[in-house]
Amino acid sequence: MTLDCEVLVVGGGPAGCAAAYWLALHGRDVLLVERSTYPRARVCGDALTPVAVKELADMGCAPDAAGWHRHRGLRLTAHGRSLEVPWPQDGRWPGYGVVMRRSRLDALTFARAQSAGARVLTDTEVTAPLIAHGHLRGCIARRRNGDRARRSGGNDAGGRDGSGNGGADTADAEIVARARYVVIANGPSSRFGQALGTARTRTYAQGLAMRAYYPTPRHREPWIESVFALADRSGRQLPGYGWIFPVGDGTANVGVGLLSHHDGNEAISLERLFEQWTHQIPDRWEIDPGGPHSRPEGGRLPMGGSVRPQSGPNWVVVGDAAGSVNPWNGDGVGPALTTGRLAAEHICRALATDDGDELRQYEAELASRWQRYHHLGRLTTRALGRPGLMRKLTQLAIRSPRMGKLVVGISTDLIRGGSGPAGACNVYRAASGLARLRRDRS
C-alpha cells in the first residue's frame, strides 16, 4: 500500500506528536507513524518542569486533567541537608510542574495530534528511509497485525475525514509512505536518522538512567526530590542523582541517573547503583525498597545537542533523535516538545515558500536557543565527572536557598535568555561567557 502526505513524522513520542500537532494545526497534511499502540509505557522519570508544562498547555493539553500530579518545586537533598526550591512565580512560566506517567502523557499528546487533523498509523514500524535518485522521499514501514490495532482503541490510521486512508486489515502489511518533508522523532537510537547520516558526538557525555514505581503513602507530596548521594564502591560521589517523583496515584517514580563520563576507574553497573539507591531513599517517603510495583527498567539519554546534523535537504531530527536532552538534569520531554514545535514551524515555512533551505534555519534556531546553554552544560557535566568536584558543587548548591534557586533555575532551563531574577541571569551570563573561552572535546 502506498500513502502520500506532505509531511511524514517517524515516531509518536512527545517530539513526534508535538511536530504532528503543530503541522496539522497549520493545515498541513501530516502522517505520523508509530510502532506501538497507545496507551504504552515509555521508560521515564515522568517529571515535567514548568518549561514542559508550558509546551503542553500551548498544545491544549489541560493541566487539570486526571493523572496530572502537580508539584510546587524541587527538593534538593545532599550531605544530610534538604532544601526546597519552589518553581518561580514570576508569570514567565506556569508556577508548577507535573508528574504524569508516560502511558498517559504520550496518549494525550497523540490524541492532540490526531484531533488537530494528523493521520496516524500505529502498530507500524518504520523499517527504512525511502530513497529515490539520492533523495529522501519518505519511508518504508511494516504494519503488524492491522486487525488487532483497529480493535485496540481506535488508534488506527484514518484520513482527516476518518475514511480509513491507510488503515490495513491484513497482518504485516508493507506500507510505502511518500512525503515532501520528514520529521525524524523515533527516540534515542534513531536508525532512520543514522541512515541519513546523523551521528552522536561520542565525546559528549550521555545520561544513563533506571526507574521503577514504588507504593508510598506520600504519593501526593507537592515536591519532587533529587538526592545527591550516589557513590562508587570506594565511596566517591558519582556525577548523578537518585530521584523520588510522586505520581499521585499511590506510587512514586523512583530512579537513578548517571553521567556516562566519570573519571573513576570502576565500571559502574546501573542495576547495582539502582539497588544501592533504593536503600538510601529518605525515610519520609515510607518506601519499602523490597516492594516495587514494577521491575526496574533503564535507558539512555542523548544530551546537549550531541546528534548532528539536525537537518538535511528535506528532513529534520527532533527530541532524543537529535540528542536534545538537557545535559544539566536529564529532562528530555520539554526539549522534545519544543524541538517538535520548532520543526513544524520551519517545515510550514518551507512548504509555504517552497524553499527547503528553510530547514537550515531550524538548525540555526536550535543553535541560537541552546548552543551556549548546552556548551556550558557539557563543560559542567565533564567537570562533574572528576572525583571530588561533584561533592564540592553539591555542597555549594545546598548551602543557601539563594544558591539552590540559582542551581535549579539554571539546570531546569528557567533562567536562560535573560528570563529570571536579574542576579541569577548575571551569574548565568558570566558563566556562559567564560565557557565560550573553553572548547568542547569534539
Ligand X SMILES: Cc1cc2nc3c(=O)[nH]c(=O)nc-3n(C[C@H](O)[C@H](O)[C@H](O)COP(=O)(O)OP(=O)(O)OC[C@H]3O[C@@H](n4cnc5c(N)ncnc54)[C@H](O)[C@@H]3O)c2cc1C
Does 112 participate in binding ligand X (rule CB under 6 A)?
no
Is the CA virtual torsion 327, 40, 140, 137 positive or negative? negative
Q: Which of 255, 377, 404, 420 binds ligand X (CB under 6 A)?
A: 255
Does 301 participate in binding ligand X (rule CB under 6 A)?
yes
Does 209 participate in binding ligand X (rule CB under 6 A)?
yes
Does 94 participate in binding ligand X (rule CB under 6 A)?
no
Distance separating alpha carbons of residues 36 and 187, to the nearest angstrom: 13
Residue 46: closest CA among 187, 185, 212? 212
| Closest distance of CB 103 from ligand X, Å | 11
Q: Which of 88, 94, 158, 299 binds ligand X (CB under 6 A)?
A: 299
Strands 173-184 and 315-317, bridge-based pairing:
parallel
Q: Which of 22, 25, 46, 252 binds ligand X (CB under 6 A)?
A: 46
Burial 171-186 (b: 16+ CB within 10 A, else e): eebebebebbbbbbbb
Q: How far is CA 342 from CA 303, 310, 316, 357, 362, in A?
A: 18, 12, 10, 15, 7
Using CB under 6 A, which of the segments 60-68, 232-240, 325-333, 433-441 binds ligand X?
325-333
Q: Which of 16, 50, 88, 242 binds ligand X (CB under 6 A)?
A: 16
Q: Which of 116, 149, 185, 227 binds ligand X (CB under 6 A)?
A: 185
Residue number with the shortest CB distance to ligand X?
332
**Site residues for ligand X, window 187-206 (CB under 6 A)?**
187
417 Rama class: left (phi>0) / alpha (psi -120 to 50) / beta: left
Give one DSSP letter per residue of 182-225, joined into a string.
EEE---SS-HHHHHTT-EE-TTS--EEEEEEEEE-TTTT-SEEE
Does 372 participate in binding ligand X (rule CB under 6 A)?
no
Q: Which of 36, 122, 251, 306 binds ligand X (CB under 6 A)?
A: 36
Q: How far apart are the first and last CA of the chain?
A: 43
Q: Which of 7, 19, 32, 33 binds ligand X (CB under 6 A)?
A: 33
Using CB under 6 A, which of the segments 8-16, 53-61, 367-375, 429-437 binds ligand X?
8-16
> Applying CB under 6 A, which residues contact ligand X?
10-16, 33-36, 42-47, 52, 125-126, 185-187, 209-211, 255, 298-299, 301, 319-321, 325, 330-334, 336
